[in-house]
Amino acid sequence: MLLEREHKSSWWKAILLLPDYIGLSIVRSSEFKFSFYSYLFLYVAQIAFYLFFWNLVNPPNIDGWSKEACFLLTGFATLNIALQELVWATGMIDQMILKGDLIVVLVRPENSYFGLVMRRMGAMAVIPATLGLSVVVVTLCFYYELHLLQLSLACVICIFGAICMRALMLCVNTLGFKFGRVTALKSFVLSGRDLSRYPLTLLPLQFNVMLSTLFPVLLISNYPAKFLLLKDPSQMFLMLSFAFIITVAWILFAMFCWRRGLKIYEAQSL
């Protein structure tokens, strides 16, 4: 029955509720002022430290990764993490499964997963996302050339990266339907964020394949930064297509896992 409702439930209704969810999120974020300001300070500190770090390391253009390219990497990593924060509730689904709270979302008329994520959205993550994007734009203006179309497409790859990581997180959470506690696995996925701050395309090919498909951290920051440095349109098209295919594959896999998880949930009469 839950699965039938899941099929009939409307994405459109969730989208109509979006302005209310955004308003609610802003009120909730600014409720605890100290947490809000220190959260923003956290992002600023992260950017400052990583810029300082790459300035200190000063890599001499290793496989395209110069100091400036690493600045771009830092900007995209911040942008991506902020985008992931926007839908941070994805990481809490296992707790809802354990507590049995999921039923509250499942009986509502809007799409369960979308509704679940949106009603707890972190709208204020737009601020650090803008900070990350500013780092990219300033680096481009000072060290490279700013092409708006290329930048927009690089941002699209970055968004693909955020979708892939959240889809991966959803798959991990869906294991909660079967095993209950998945905290260690979630921390495993979250640690991918730290890795995204390094030029991992330098690693051997087999690592590159693994980190762009099975554990797609390269899509977070490495590919967007590399995309901005490309000159050949065919190479750009290839990279964009590859990122798109990986994202579609992850979305389909996550939807499959979510629906299977709901079946298990229903079989347990919850």
Alpha carbon 38 to chain centroid distance?
22
The residue behind tokens 């809007």 is 110
41 sits near other proteins (criterion: CB under 8 A): yes
For residues 217 and 246, is the Cβ–Cβ distance under 8 A? Answer: no
Among 103, 107, 203, 252, the residue binding other proteins under the rule CB under 8 A is 203
Our CB check for other proteins shows the closer of 20 and 63 to be 63
For residues 188 and 125, is the Cβ–Cβ distance under 8 A? Answer: no
64 sits near other proteins (criterion: CB under 8 A): no
Our CB check for other proteins shows the closer of 12 and 41 to be 41
Among 10, 20, 30, 38, the residue binding other proteins under the rule CB under 8 A is 38
63 sits near other proteins (criterion: CB under 8 A): yes
Our CB check for other proteins shows the closer of 127 and 202 to be 202
Among 34, 148, 232, 267, the residue binding other proteins under the rule CB under 8 A is 34
Residues 157-196 that bind other proteins (CB under 8 A): 181, 183-185, 187-188, 191, 194-195
143 sits near other proteins (criterion: CB under 8 A): no
Up-side HSE of residue 131: CA atoms within 13 Å toward CB?
21
Contact letters for other proteins, residues 204-223 (x by CB under 8 A):
x--x----------------
198 sits near other proteins (criterion: CB under 8 A): yes
Q: Which residues contact 132 (CB under 8 A, 6 or more apart)?
A: 43, 47, 75, 76, 77, 78, 79, 80, 81, 82
Q: Which stretch binds other proteins (CB under 8 A): 35-43, 153-161, 233-241, 245-253?
A: 35-43
30 sits near other proteins (criterion: CB under 8 A): no
Residues 77-136 that bind other proteins (CB under 8 A): none
Q: Which stretch binds other proteins (CB under 8 A): 92-100, 119-127, 129-137, 199-207?
A: 199-207
Nearest-angstrom CA–CA distance, 216 and 246:
8
18 sits near other proteins (criterion: CB under 8 A): no
57 sits near other proteins (criterion: CB under 8 A): yes
Q: Which residues bind other proteins (CB under 8 A)?
A: 32, 34-35, 38-39, 41-42, 45-46, 49, 53, 56-57, 59-60, 62-63, 181, 183-185, 187-188, 191, 194-195, 198-200, 202-204, 207
